[in-house]
Structure 1
Amino acid sequence: MIKTKFLSNLLLSFIWVALTGTFTLEYFIFGFMLSYALMWIITTNRREDQYFKRGPKLVSFVFFFLYELVKANIQVAYDVITPRYYMKPGIIKIPLHAQTDLEITLLANLITLTPGTLSLDVSDDKKVLYVHAMYVRDKDEFIHSIKNGFEKRLLEILR
């Protein structure tokens, strides 16, 4: 059902771009948002339709990830350009709520993409993710930030 709605949304976006005669990314994105809104308006059973619940969560997740990415880049850059090192490196054991290989892989890759953190390994029972972090002031706070940041938001989109 979600794939059908997404493909319908893409088709309507391409129709919008063709009708306007302007083949640019801006018009495609506008057409996508317009067709998304129109499809949402004409949907009769909104409570059960996951497509319209995941869309805003996905957009929110992208902005959250960009915020975390910029924040981590600034922290690492500041540490590099100042004469004193502020690093407190450590390897942290993070318990996982993610269960499938896809969920664990995406979480590990998102953590690795953020400067200053690196996913090292997953336990054999897939219940723990080991992460190396450059800035571990408080272990529990670091675990809390991963669990309630990346993992929680990622699972809201995937489940």
Structure 2
Amino acid sequence: MNLLLSFIWVALTGSMYYSNFLFGFLLGFFILWIMNRNEVDQRYFYRVPKTIGFVFYFLYEMIMANIHVAYDVITPRHFSKPGIVRFPMEAKTDLEIHLLSTVISMTPGTLILDISEDRKSLFIHVMYLKSKDDFITQIQNGFEKRLLEVLR
């Protein structure tokens, strides 16, 4: 419904710009929020801000990882310390596991090697591994926590 309101806004204004679509989306979100304030199911109004926050977090992490890898490639000394980490997941469903593994793999310097037989762990190849515990904590408090907030 929010996307439909955004497209209606763009059609009414006749301006096909991203900024106009974004304004229409925010306006539609506000209208839907006002109309559904007293409804029992308010999940949409919590998920949209969390989704936007997750997208910005992912973009930040991806840019920082790209800079880190590019710096390592450009400089004559190599800073890589590769390692394989067994990451215990809280993700349970196929969608959660797939999205988590995709997001981790899209970040430069990490690659998903395998999923355990019991589907409770990911095996991740990390290009810059300083500490396994720090890496696991970073993924748990970063990607996994934010992704599960969006999906659950």
TM-score using structure 1 length: 0.91
Give the 5 Å matches for 1:1-159: 8-45=1-38, 48-159=41-152
Aligned residues: 152
Gaps of 5+ in 2: none
> Which stretches of structure 1, 4 residues or more, deviate above 4 A after TM superposition?
none
Structure 1 residues 15-64: Cα deviation after superposition (integer angstroms, max 9, x where no partner): 11121122333222211111101211222336631000000000000110
Identity of matched residues, %: 59
Q: Partners of 2:32 and 2:135 in 1: how far apart?
A: 40
SS at match of 1:115: coil
| Residue 12 (structure 1) shift | 1.3
Distance 1:47 1:140, change over 3 A: farther
RMSD: 1.2
TM-score using structure 2 length: 0.95
SS at match of 2:108: coil
| Residue 124 (structure 1) shift | 1.1
Gaps of 5+ in 1: 1-7
